[in-house]
């Protein structure tokens, strides 16, 4: 870390202490942001940490749907997103109105909505899921239910294959994960024949079929720690490689494709965090009660599902 960056990080830590703030960072954030954070994690872990913290202020370094989830679960706390324009393109592929229209068209369905979605879509869903618990959430629903899974078609396909259930799918996708092809993975395997392949379930089926482990971002961190493999091909956003390397100094990590960068996950820098701590009102994410209450119901149902 350059000297002035180190000083800035110390200043942020002092400010966070003064304001009783907790800094949460998703596993795709820039390295310096991950290193500064009190807690790093995947979407499930961070939403549980946000609900459990007794801090007055949550500084969420991630994208909008994550900060919204924190605010839905902890309305008594102020949640700030240091760059309010950091959205998730997949979340933008669904709206509450479009989902309600689909429900009307399909008749009786149980709607499972991936947390990578706007709060208003969660509010008209039955239950949420993350990449870490999508399979358990689908399994928790009665066999007789017809399931509509939104907005990620790839995660829906994965959950359908893992559970043997027929699942109706919304046609959304993550532009960063959906671009990875089986050719990319096969090329990386040719270069690194002994490497274990890890892939995020937002990747296409053709990629998941080549993977040794399909995991959420924190699931990949756990897999890499426990595996005997010395080398790993990483099929997810490049930001995860920072922590993989930090936690496993004796192991090698190679990206499945150098194109797997989520631009909005890189928006937040240390200066943005400092500004958000100094003027939290300018960066607050608050979900209106008429959306928050039904959205919380869908998130609470998810949190009540035991993990496999
Ligand atoms: P995780 O929940 O696995 O961290 O994934 C979040 C995400 O945005 C994946 O693209
Ligand atoms: Fe959204 Fe994909 Fe970025 Fe995750 S990686 S925040 S799903 S666009």
**Candidates 27, 117, 152, 176: which one to mutate for ligand 2, based on the most atoms within 8 Å of Cβ?**
176
Instruction: Go through 90-101 and write b for each residue having 16 or more CB atoms within 10 A of its CB, e for each that does not.
Output: bbebbebeebee
**Which 3 state secondary structure label does DSSP give 199?**
strand
In a domain, 119, yes or no: yes
Q: Residue 36 domain-assigned?
A: yes
Last residue of a domain, one of 261, 277, 295: 261
Query: Which numbered ligand comes closest to the C-alpha of 48?
Result: 1
For atom 4 of ligand 1, the residue with the nearest CA is: 42
Q: CB within 8 A of 274, min separation 6: which ones?
A: 8, 11, 12, 15
- pLDDT for the residue numbered 4: 86
**Is ligand 1 within 6 A of the CB of residue 217?**
yes
Mark whether 226 and 241 lie in a shared domain.
yes
Residue 104 belongs to some domain of the structure: yes
Looking at 125, 151, 173, the residue that finishes a domain is: 173
What's the gap between Cα 122 and its chain centre? 15
Q: Are residues 117 and 184 both part of a single domain?
A: no
Strand partners of residue 254:
233
Residue with tokens 């509010």: 123
Q: What are phi and psi of 201, to 5 degrees?
A: -70, 0
Q: How far apart are CA 87 and CA 249, in angstroms?
A: 33
Q: 67 CB under 6 A from ligand 2?
A: no
Query: Is 293 inside a domain boundary?
Result: no
Per the structure, the count of domains in the chain is: 3
Report the alpha-carbon distance of residue 50 to residue 139 in Å, rounded: 26
131 Cβ closer than 6 Å to some ligand 1 atom: yes
Residues in the chain: 308
| Preceding omega of 151 cis (within 30 degrees of 0) | yes
Say how many Å lie between the first and final Cα of the chain, rounded: 39
Tell me the H-state helices in 75-216.
Answer: 96-106, 119-123, 134-139, 153-163, 175-178, 182-191, 205-208
Q: Considering only CA atoms, which residue is closest to atom 6 of ligand 2?
A: 88
Whether 97 and 164 map to the same domain: the answer is yes
The CATH number of the domain holding residue 105 is 3.40.50.10800
Q: How far apart are the CA of 6 and the centre of ligand 1, in A? A: 28
The reply to whether 296 falls in a domain is: no
Are both 187 and 249 inside the same structural domain? yes
3-state secondary structure of 172: strand
Q: Which domain holds residue 135?
A: 91-173
Same domain for 168 and 183? no
For 202, the 3-state DSSP assignment is: coil
**183 and 169 in one domain?**
no
Is 308 contained in some domain?
no
Is the domain of 150 the same as that of 213? Answer: no
Find out whether the beta carbon of 265 lies less than 6 Å from any atom of ligand 2: yes
Claim to verify: residue 249 and residue 277 sit in the same structural domain: no
Q: Which residues pair with 40 in a beta bridge?
A: 25
pLDDT tens-place values along the chain, 308 residues long: 666 889 999 999 999 999 999 999 999 999 999 999 999 999 888 988 988 998 999 999 999 999 999 999 999 999 999 999 999 999 999 999 999 999 999 999 999 999 999 999 999 999 999 999 999 999 999 999 999 999 999 999 999 999 999 999 999 999 999 999 999 999 999 999 999 999 999 999 999 999 999 999 999 999 999 999 999 999 999 999 999 999 999 999 999 999 999 999 999 999 999 999 999 999 999 999 999 999 999 999 999 998 76
For the CA atoms of 62, 63, 65, 68, what is the dihedral angle to 10 degrees? 60
Cα(176) to centroid(ligand 2), Å: 7
Are 81 and 139 in contact by the 8 Å Cβ rule? The answer is no
* Residue 50 confidence (pLDDT): 84
Ligand 1 near 236 CB (within 6 A) = no
Assess if residue 301 is contained within a domain: no
- Whether 81 and 113 map to the same domain: the answer is no
With a CB cutoff of 8 Å and minimum separation 6, the contacts of 80 are 57, 58, 59, 60, 67, 276, 280, 283, 284, 285
Nearest to 59 by CA among 101, 91, 17: 17
Are 115 and 104 found together in one domain? Answer: yes
Residue 291 lies in a domain: no
The CA distance from 308 to 190, in Å, is: 33
Specify the DSSP element, H or E, that contains 204: none
Task: Answer yes or no: is the C-beta of 40 below 6 A from any ligand 1 atom.
Answer: no
Task: Collect all residues with Cβ–Cβ distance below 8 Å to 120 and sequence separation of at least 6.
Answer: 95, 96, 291, 295
Return the pLDDT at 3.
Answer: 66
Q: Report whether residue 29 contacts ligand 1, using a CB cutoff of 6 Å.
A: no
Atom index in ligand 1 nearest the CA of residue 216 equals 3
Q: What is the H or E stretch that residue 169 is in?
A: strand 167-169
Q: Are residues 81 and 110 in the same domain?
A: no
- Of 173, 206, 237, the last residue of a domain is 173
| Pair (105, 117) in one structural domain | yes
């Amino acid at each position: 870390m350059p000297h002035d960056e180190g000083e800035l990080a110390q200043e942020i830590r002092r400010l966070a202490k003064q304001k009783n703030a907790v800094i949460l960072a998703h596993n795709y954030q820039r390295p310096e942001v991950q290193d500064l954070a009190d807690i790093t994690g995947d979407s499930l872990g961070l939403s549980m940490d946000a609900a459990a913290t007794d801090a007055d202020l949550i500084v969420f370094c991630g994208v909008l749907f994550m900060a919204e989830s924190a605010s839905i679960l902890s309305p008594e706390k102020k949640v700030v997103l240091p760059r309010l324009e950091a959205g998730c393109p997949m979340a933008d592929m669904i709206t509450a109105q479009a989902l309600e229209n689909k429900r009307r068209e399909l008749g009786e369905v149980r709607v499972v909505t991936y947390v990578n979605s706007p709060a208003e879509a969660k509010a008209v869903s039955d239950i949420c899921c993350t990449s870490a618990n999508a399979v358990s959430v689908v399994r928790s629903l009665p066999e007789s239910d017809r399931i509509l899974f939104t907005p990620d078609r790839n995660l829906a396909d994965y959950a359908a294959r893992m559970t043997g259930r027929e699942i109706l799918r919304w046609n959304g996708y993550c532009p960063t994960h959906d671009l990875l092809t089986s050719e990319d993975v096969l090329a990386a395997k040719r270069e690194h024949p002994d490497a274990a392949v890890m892939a995020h379930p937002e990747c296409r089926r053709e990629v998941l079929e080549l993977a040794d482990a399909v995991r959420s971002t924190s699931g990949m961190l756990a897999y890499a720690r426990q595996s005997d493999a010395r080398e790993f091909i990483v099929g997810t956003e490049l930001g995860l490689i920072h922590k993989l390397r930090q936690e496993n100094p004796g192991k090698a990590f190679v990206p499945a494709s150098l194109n797997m960068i989520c631009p909005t996950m890189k928006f937040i820098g240390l200066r943005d965090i400092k500004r958000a701590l100094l003027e939290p009102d300018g960066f607050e994410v608050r979900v209106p009660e008429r959306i928050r209450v039904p959205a919380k119901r869908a998130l609470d149902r998810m949190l009540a599902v035991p993990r496999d």
